[in-house]
A and B are shown apart, each in its own frame.
Chain A
Amino acid sequence: MSGNVRRGAAPHTGSTAFINARIVDPTADAEYTGAILISDGKIADFGPNLFASGAPYGIESVDCRGLHLAPGIVDARVHTGEPGEEHKETLESAGIAAAVGGITSLVLLPDNEPPFDDASLIEFVARRARQVKLANMYAYGALTVGLEGQHLAEMGLLAEAGAVAFTDADHAVGNAQVMRRALYYAKAFDALIVHLPQEPSLSGGNMTSGVMATRLGLSGVPPLAEVMMVERDIRLAEMTGGRVHLTKISTAESVKAIASAKARGLKITCDTAPPYFALNDLAVGDYRTFGKLVPPLRAEGDREAVVEGLKTGVIDAIVSDHRPQDQDSKRVPFASAEPGGVGLETLLPISLELVHNKHLTLPQLFQRLSAAPAQLFNLPGGKLAKGAPADLVLFDSDYAWQVDRDDLWSKTKNSPFDERPVQGLVMATIVGGRTIYRHDNFTPAAAAA
């Protein structure tokens, strides 16, 4: 992709008007042609009638030429290699990839080396994010010490240092007593616990159980490894009154279990990631290690159920689940390969398939991508509101292109969507009023009136 990432742009001052845009407002569930006025990095005004009679006089205006303008994406599940594995991804390279992907806020997973089970790590991330000056970067605190699922991490101190939620990343907490105490304890700080529901004793395999795994001779992870844990967590949440958010939902049974928990009025929320609504276990064919993920890619019926869950709103949010892996981690036999895929730059185009295939409207999609995660993690962006930060994404929803791993800005290229034809491309990303990324095809003519 060709475009310009502008690192370290100065804070936005004065006023800028984005006119002639197709505005996507997830909170109001509306899409219309109109304008957004930003002042000193915040949204000052927006609506269909704003500047309807022409470009404003005396302030900078950007003609969006009918492209879509939506609240920037809030990606609640990003892993980088910093600190610990900077050769895979740094906060800066992840920030660049996020900018290119239209992501204006991201929440960093705590499973680095060292893991974020100490307040100093949360402060480190915040300091580095200020230096990098791209997307807003937040961090999870570890739920348990060393992500080992045994002893509670210092949730209060981590929260004070800025941790926005707590999780053991891709490690499920197998011990129900530990999870129960974590949910109870978190209530003291009204903290959100994010859990990957996978029964550990059933999750040792390399791909989803089924005829494909049997043919390839790979050990399987049964889909019920997920729903068992979903059901346990639902019971624990009910018992403790704690807030649990289940992440990377990938099976039909899990969607069903969460739907019924929500119907009973429990405080359960959940998300999924593009691989689980756009791919199935066939993507692993011929031992493609880029398709090795946690949880594993599931059967087609599960994929369809995840799409349905997004449609009905049972699944609240979409995350990229960005996990860079270098060649040494992926160019090995399947069982030895590290799981995970990069996802920052493909999050929007793959998610737009849900709109092109008429499963969601654009406002509904941005509810899942921006508004819901911002609300869940109590972050300032993700919505159009007067006084909200001017975090916006400008995109061409129809732009056709093909994912090519060599063109990705991420430091590593392990995309499960490599070579996939997609529709939709980010033209500009605006964080706090600063345009941090602009695609070459979008050059705002007559920027200043």
Chain B
Amino acid sequence: MLGIEGLSPETISGLLDLSESYIPQNQSIDKRRDLLTGRTVINLFFENSTRTRTSFEVAAKRLGADVINMDVATSSVKKGETLLDTAMTLNAMRPDAIVVRHSESGAVNLLSQKVNCTVINAGDGQHEHPTQALLDALTIRRRRGTLEGLLVAICGDIMHSRVARSNIHLLQIMGARVRVVGPPTLMPTDIDKMGVEVHYNMRTGLKDVDIVMMLRLQTERMQGSFVPSISEYFRFFGLDSEKLKVAKPNALIMHPGPMNRGVEIDSEVADDLDRSVIHEQVEMGVAVRMACLDALIGGRRNAMGAAA
């Protein structure tokens, strides 16, 4: 699983259905099954990420797999080993799946060419973060029943966001309409050619939307290179209850985390129990990752077809 781009609506629906089936298990007292007993999953994170790595680890363990977390910061990668040498070394240990996060776009695709086990993209540079898009879709589907026909605004640093790209693909494949909202300096070139509506103003961008997805703004991008200051960014592009007024009254608020309160989102809306589904997203994350592991290495590969 390298990206959402190119997946069929049927594959995505199938993965979401399978994810849904894991929610009761995650909510029960006995959370462990032995579907993946004897399988080895390696979490290979070249970029720090506590939440995604933990989510994958929890997901794999709940299915009974053995999980190894590769702490790349102290490994041979730091000693100059190349990405492909690392990949081939791990491959020789015969894992069933490698979950990879890397700071460079395409690094996971490259690694997948050199190993013969399943590779799951846990985020590569500014390219894709497919399990995040799936968990967002699952969260929305559970609240709204369907993705089709919904109007979704993705707001903030679109340019540097793999979450935005995966969500744009997935939402459009599933029949939702997508707007991207943010300052022009954080819009990638020709983003409109990906079929989205572009807005530089939260008031027009959020008008009548069903879903508001906020993105994290990296601190290093707020100090004059892309936007002049944090306070200016928050004033014009941060989500607060005032800006939210133009959205549909029941619009859901989402954020992939970790949040910068007072930068891209106001605490008042982030903690609004009626509308913010930010914690539900984290919960769905585990279910979605269980479904991906199940579909890819759980022996149901044929049933899931192109999901691999």
Using a CB–CB cutoff of 8 Å, the interface residues on chain A facing chain B are: 209-211, 213-220, 222, 286-287, 328, 331-336
Contacts and interface: CB of A to CB of B under 8 A. Distances in A.
A30 B132 CA distance: 64
A207 to B, nearest CB: 10
A371 B84 CA distance: 45
A334 B102 CA distance: 12
Given A215-B5, A217-B125, A210 B189 contact: yes
22 contacts: A210-B189, A211-B191, A213-B189, A214-B165, A214-B188, A214-B194, A215-B165, A217-B106, A217-B125, A217-B127, A217-B165, A218-B105, A220-B188, A328-B82, A331-B82, A331-B110, A332-B83, A332-B84, A332-B110, A334-B106, A335-B125, A336-B104
Given A217-B105, A217-B125, A287-B105, A209 B189 contact: yes
B193 interface: yes
A300 B110 CA distance: 26
Contacts, number: 72
B162 interface: yes
A211 B194 contact: yes
B124 interface: yes
B233 to A, nearest CB: 21
Interface of B: 5, 82-84, 102, 104-107, 109-110, 124-128, 162, 165, 188-191, 193-194
B120 to A, nearest CB: 17
List the 10 shortest-distance A-B pairs measured between CB atoms, nearest first: A287-B106, A217-B126, A217-B127, A333-B104, A217-B105, A333-B107, A214-B188, A211-B190, A211-B193, A209-B189
A362 B224 CA distance: 54
Contacts of A287: 105-106, 109-110
Given A217-B162, A217-B165, A333 B189 contact: no
Nearest to B127: A217
A196 to B, nearest CB: 22
Contacts of B128: 217
Contacts of B162: 217
Nearest to B162: A217
Given A328-B82, A333-B83, A333-B102, A214 B107 contact: no
A334 B107 CA distance: 7
A209 to B, nearest CB: 4
A335 B105 contact: yes
A65 to B, nearest CB: 45
Nearest to A206: B105
Contacts of B104: 333-336
Given A332-B82, A333-B83, A335-B125, A216 B194 contact: no
Nearest to B105: A217
Contacts of A213: 188-189
Contact of B191 (A214, A328, A335, A336): A214
A332 B188 CA distance: 24
B106 A333 contact: yes
A222 B84 CA distance: 31
A220 B105 CA distance: 13
Given A287-B106, A334-B104, A335-B105, A220 B189 contact: yes
A90 to B, nearest CB: 25
Contacts of A216: 105-106, 127
A219 B125 CA distance: 10
Nearest to A205: B189
A334 B126 CA distance: 12
A287 B128 CA distance: 13
Contacts of A210: 189-190
A331 B85 CA distance: 10
A251 B214 CA distance: 37
